[in-house]
Structure 1
Amino acid sequence: MLSSNSPTPRRRSARRRATAIGTFTAVAALLGMAVQAGTATADNPSAGTKVDTGSLSMKLSPSQRAELIRDADTSKAATADTLGLGAKEKLVVRDVIKDRDGTTHTRYERTYAGLPVLGGDMVVATDKAGKVKDVNRASKARLTGIDTGADVKPAAAEKQALGAAKAEKSTKTKASQAPRKVVWLAGAKGGAPVLAYETVVGGLQKDGTPNELHVVTDAATGKKLGQWQAVHNGTGNTMYSGQVTLGTAGSGSRYTLSDTQRGNHRTYNLNRSTSGTGTLFSGPDDVWGNGQPSNLETAGADAHYGAALTWDYYKGVHGRNGIRNDGVGASSRVHYGNNYSNAFWQNGCFCMTYGDGAGNAKRATPSRSRPSTWPPTR
């Protein structure tokens, strides 16, 4: 017999329906104004709008994606040779996206003599025959003749990193990642690569935000080469939600729409293109958009904020660490095509893509500041 406080089957069913509605609405927060001119899917990205479907990413199953990564890993030595990399350089496969026309985009990180290369990542596009079509490099500096013997001790690098964190008025500071040897390319600007230590300092930032300060120290001279805060809060001036706080990342004097607190979700600018990943939004002031459609950052701020709300919904209501519960944040792409009045989701790139609408002025970006059933009725 059920007690008076026990949920009846009808109540349990209603609760399940409410949770399902809440989940659906959280995904709808990403879609926002997507259905302005029809229903958009990966197989039908537009209703009434011509797009280059061959350059769209394929919808890959987990096994298909895993197979592509295995293939890229098997051929990475040959790829390195084709790209003219040195004998001490190795490629590390990080991700693969495949277009419908057979083009495969593989993201690599590099190592030199077994050491991570900061600023050495690249994306290599190959055709369906495996021939390299295009290479997008973070740095064109060549890695040759680097002495991997450090004169500076790791303890000195850690001391410098802790000092840098305290100068930023961080509290509860401690090295959350011990100094590791790296090859520093991110600040090379055409100059010679540098052997360095990278130290990550944890604790709290001065406003209570979690701290993840990366400090790079020259392993020969002890000079600080650079630092960046991986957990950062920027200001977004959105079109639909007003002024909001955005999760961003900083490196030197540049900031990017990279939410390190939410699975490293990133927002990219396709700049009217219909293929590829686009360009990660970056800027010098950590202020994004002005609330007007004429500012390209405004759509980026809307999409980035909508993705953050979706992550928080799944975390707070369903206890899930991201949509797939794997700690990985989906990415967002804005400014798709020309006069494209829709938006679509693709599992292949695990991303949402938004067009700019009629006259490129009615953007299909998240239109509500939160899901309408936040939290869902229980």
Structure 2
Amino acid sequence: MRKKFIAPLVVTTALITASLPYNNVLAVQPDHQVENQMVKQWNEKANVPLFVKEKQAVKRSSTSADDALNYLQQNKEKVNIKNPKADLKKNNSAKDELGMTHVRFNQTKNGVPVEGAEIIVHYNVDNEITVVNGAYNEDIEASKLDTKPTLSSEEALQVAKSSTHAPSTLDQVPTSELVVYPFEGKNHLTYKVNVNFLGDEPGNWYVFVDATSGKVVDQYNAIMDAGHFKTQTGTGTGVLGDHRLLHVTKSKGEKEGTVFQLADYSHEGLDGIITYDYSKNYLELFSNKSAAFKSEFAEPAVDAHYNSEQVYDYYLSEHGRNSLDDNGMPIQSVVHYGDNYNNAFWNGTYMVYGDGDGEFFIPLAASLDVAAHEMTHGVTSNSANLIYRFQSGALNESFSDIFGALIDDSDWEIGEDIMAPAAVADGRTSLRSLSNPSKYPVGAAYVAYGNGEGMYPSHMDEFYDLPANLDNGGVHINSSIINHAAYLTAQDIGREKLGQIYYRALTQYLTANSDFSDARQAIVQSAIDLYGEGSAEVTAAAGGFDSVGIME
């Protein structure tokens, strides 16, 4: 029996003013220009893509990390890594449902991990190494970077909290890790500090603090916008009037008497599906005097609770995945966030839903595809962990959109159920479209970075070359190219096979810095693993990318 997860009922919050743009998963793009744009400096030796496919694989004695390292050492010229045994450290190893084993390594410098540099060695069911992929930083390998910090991790944490204007009390325990961070053409020894908090400007900040000078090298907000307890059956009414059957918990308090809470502990091996209210600017379990949640105030909570279970069931039944981390972590939602808040996001711990302003959005918890989008960010965070910037960030967003459309399978739109009447009357019938991305315009601030037409892109010819401080380099905009590739593939092989292929690519092949080209290779290879070389599924997977201009 797993220990039940009981989250804190009250979390101290404070007004937050973020020092970088707050990035939303489902927000309408801003129409203002941003000054002091970050200029990217290209370093061709940093994060060199690696994809080696063995045409005549040799049977190995085992599928251990030691064997994988031996293979890399023996084939160091082929994989272009000078000293794998010295520079690679095992991250994890896992066998999948096909009997294939995937061994992951992080690149290190003098034992310090290199941010975003990861190598995966893939064994087939016959213990043969078939593919090696990932990214390696040749520049760091050859450098003489000093990896001894003079700053302490505690000092780095204080710098990070100050830089992000974090409140004194954080929602999650902050983490700090010494890493080598390639940024703007230089390699820095930094502490990678994560601070997480809610409030008027919620944050899931990653701050890279120079381990010698104490200065902030880089930072970004990775908010990804969306006793004994006995669980019993309850009912509720959703935002759109849907009747919902719910799993709820009956509890007796000293003052309030018997109450029913949106806390579901009915799933074996899962630490609970729990829904919170944030209307008082702190978290408390959503409660009701009866097991029938029928008030207008309860409607968003009913939908959030119900939709969370639907998404959980999809990942479990279709992919054998037990919650977002595949280890039964609690699935937690927060409703009534903010004042007329037009967004939903994943903050690394919770799915958080605003109530909308009634003009553009109704309560965002009403939409199953929004819940699936936000929860898939949690799946991504616990698998490929795609960095939330530029093409890797666009992939992060795209996988959330794709699985949102697969789970809410009535159409290929995202957010069609949460558009307010005024928005629909104005022609905005959904947030994004996988079938026809260019039906909607991007914000005015983004137009100059595209082909001039100002619409969401469907092809690499329409790619938006955005700086880092505009939509984190285009994570919500350029994602529509991958969205459209997936849609085109599904027209040939159907939704179920598309989901199998894309899930495998996300969880077994992609790494933190993967770009669109890496995604093509990972998705085609996943189709080969599942359906065989030369199959119709492989042709369809490759064809989707061909059609949007992402070639070999």
Q: Which has the higher contact order (CA 8 A, sep 6+)?
A: 1
Question: Normalising by structure 1, what TM-score?
Answer: 0.44
Greater helix fraction, Structure 1 or Structure 2: 2
Give the TM-score of the pair, scaled to structure 2. 0.32
Greater strand content: 1
